Amino acid sequence: MPALILKTAGGDRHIEFFPGQSLREVLDSTHYRVRSGCRGTGACGLCRVRVESEEPDEPTLAERLYLSAGQIASGVRLACQVQPKQGMEIVVLNPAPLSTWKTVAPAFRYHAPSDRFPARRPFDLPEDIKHPCGVAIDLGTTHISVSLCDLSTGAWITGRNGLNPQLDYGSDVMTRLTAAGESAQLAQMMRKQVIDAIGGAIEDISSREGIGAEQVVKVVLGGNTAMLALLSGRNYHLLLQPAHWMSTIDCLPDNPGELSLSWGIHPHAHIDVLPPLAGFVGSDLTAGVVATRLVEAGPGSLLIDFGTNSEIALWDGKILWVTSAAGGPAFEGCGIGCGMPAESGAIYRVHESNGTGPERSRAWDSAGNGASAGTGGTTAPRSMPELSLDFSTIDDGNPRGLCGSGIVDLMACLLRSGKLTSTGRFAPDVSREGLVLLEGEHRLVLTKKDVDVFQRAKGAISAAVRVLFSMARMSCRDLQRIYVGGAFGHFLNKVNAVSLGLLPGVKDDAIELCGNTALAGCEYLLTSPDSVEFLKNITARAKIINLSQSDDFSDFFFDGLYLRRWPGGL
């Protein structure tokens, strides 16, 4: 992909982008957003940048209205009016205030065929709102994602993604549930945190897109069961009791309407909090099944929604086999010493160096000697010259850790090179400390413990899928399609994922990296008049499997700890 070179006081930043985006859209997907207030139509004149290379197209009418001839001659342009085709060097002249929210780039949304999602009026819209909008929310353990849609046309307008502030109380659901169970006051604080966070996302959208929050007349919210229970402040203690893991848990807010006041939306907005299927199988999976239309395909469709609590659905043509696997936060870069969420500075891509990588890539040699931050190329190999790795970071920021996709790439590279065995042990010539990835301010070391955490997370996922295969009397050879959900899948290298046994061994084109399927399903339900019947149909076909009651789970789990391809795959 081409890259935008953003010149900042801290040095140049290389930002990859998909052609067809405006400069504003490219910047909005990073932490270097430009000020804006008109949805990128050119009506506010705020998003000013200076283009210092690659002459852009002729100024638009909006630019000539807000910019003087002298400004245009010096390279000043409106970011929303310029579409870079190749590399371009720019300086942001009017930066937006720092925000905890990042704008979701349209290219990173899950795009289902348009005929699957016809624009429909979901209900009688308030007469006092000329341009009614709806908000879809995916309430995840690590991230909260929000979309704004036009209810009159069904069109997606914009989206936001940010960290769930409840991370302060634990990176996994059990830690948070335990904390809430021990203190009613703490549970109330956690509830307020997430309500305020969603309100902050809506406010960020309103202020930057020029759309009043009062125009929001419908909300559809999905999430895993624990997050829904903490949102409502109800029955979260039941999730700590195994006796309730297979039963439906009432964890919906008593009065969803009170959320309208907290979020500043229309006082009579219709708020739908989607109920979970059971136990730790939340409505985020239900929404993902909606988005992928899993039960409308032929037998052999598998959805894996990777996350702190990964949820899995297998469609055999008659029954939707469903379960969840407590893989922990490893797939989101947490719980691993050198890991981090997919934020600025996170290493999201790692590959063997061929000496011709992009200048923005850093490199490690196999002795654990990292190139200094900000330099390009590869370092001179030392004690193990057969291994040299290039990597890329989000926003081209200084590397601070590896997010989920970067960890998968790194494990696969080490496995291929022989520096890591299929049992997860380092080669004898690797230091006992582990593999030193980077020295400096953010020293990164991959330890044996980190490898173990990844193996356990992978083992839990593969064991869960194999249990579902067993129940459905299927194998990975029967799979026609694998849908990979979750933010983890955006940059996932499918070949590496299959080589490690993270995904079943199928042909590359049978794996679809969907991104946030939970949010996409909530978006669809915003404009679907038959959403209630749709959800009832999924619920009626679903059969929940409790992995703790499976005789085969332990054997599958231990087999899944090996870093190798699935048995019986292609």
Per-residue pLDDT for 114 more than 50? no
Domain count within the chain: 3
Average of pLDDT values for 223-249?
89
Asked if 306 and 486 touch (Cβ cutoff 8 Å), the reply is yes
Q: Specify whether 148 is located in the same domain as 231.
A: yes
Q: Specify whether 94 is located in the same domain as 114.
A: no
The CATH number of whichever domain residue 33 belongs to comes to 3.10.20.30
At 174, the pLDDT band (50, 70, 90 cuts) reads confident
Last residue of a domain, one of 285, 318, 351: 285
Q: pLDDT digits over 491-510, tens only?
A: 889 999 999 999 999 888 89
Q: Specify whether 136 is located in the same domain as 93.
A: no
Q: Specify whether 345 is located in the same domain as 424.
A: yes
Within 10 A of 93 (CB to CB), how many other CB atoms are there?
16
Q: In the chain, what is the greatest distance between 2 CA atoms, to the nearest angstrom?
A: 75
User: Is residue 552 in some structural domain?
Assistant: no
Strands 88-92 and 48-51 turn out to be antiparallel
Per-residue pLDDT for 448 more than 80? yes
For residue 426, the model assigns a pLDDT of 93
User: Is residue 451 in some structural domain?
Assistant: no
Q: Specify whether 71 is located in the same domain as 116.
A: no
Helices (H), 267-339: 283-292
Q: Specify whether 226 is located in the same domain as 142.
A: yes
Q: Specify whether 221 is located in the same domain as 181.
A: yes
User: Is residue 78 in some structural domain?
Assistant: yes
Q: Specify whether 26 is located in the same domain as 62.
A: yes
User: Is residue 516 in some structural domain?
Assistant: no
For residue 124, the model assigns a pLDDT of 63
Last residue of a domain, one of 426, 446, 466: 446
Q: Specify whether 61 is located in the same domain as 158.
A: no
At 443, the pLDDT band (50, 70, 90 cuts) reads confident
Per-residue pLDDT for 171 more than 80? no
Per-residue pLDDT for 360 more than 60? no
∠ CA 541-156-256, rounded to 5°: 60
For residue 103, the model assigns a pLDDT of 86
User: Is residue 295 in some structural domain?
Assistant: no
User: What does pLDDT average to over the chain?
Assistant: 85
Last residue of a domain, one of 245, 267, 285: 285
User: Is residue 188 in some structural domain?
Assistant: yes
For residue 328, the model assigns a pLDDT of 66
Q: Specify whether 117 is located in the same domain as 258.
A: yes
Reduced 3-state DSSP string for 155-184: CEEEEEEEECHHHHHCCCHHHHHHHHHHCH
Q: What would the two tokens of residue 196 be?
A: 């305020």
User: Is residue 327 in some structural domain?
Assistant: no
For residue 46, CA distances in Å to 33, 43, 62, 76, 96 come to 12, 9, 11, 12, 10
Q: pLDDT digits over 283-312, tens only?
A: 999 999 999 999 987 899 999 998 878 899
d(CA 223, CA 277): 11
For residue 472, the model assigns a pLDDT of 95
For residue 384, the model assigns a pLDDT of 36
For residue 344, the model assigns a pLDDT of 78
Asked if 270 and 151 touch (Cβ cutoff 8 Å), the reply is no
Domain region containing 62? 3-98
What kind and span of H or E run contains 91?
A: strand 88-92
For residue 359, the model assigns a pLDDT of 39
The CATH number of whichever domain residue 132 belongs to comes to 3.30.420.480
Q: Specify whether 259 is located in the same domain as 174.
A: yes
Average of pLDDT values for 77-89?
90
User: Is residue 526 in some structural domain?
Assistant: no
Q: CB burial class (10 A; 0-12, 13-18, 19+) of residue 70?
A: exposed
Q: Where are the beta strands (DSSP E) in 228-355?
A: 270-273, 301-305, 310-315, 320-325, 346-352
For residue 172, the model assigns a pLDDT of 80
**In terms of pLDDT, which residue wins out, 1 or 514?**
514
Q: Specify whether 39 is located in the same domain as 180.
A: no
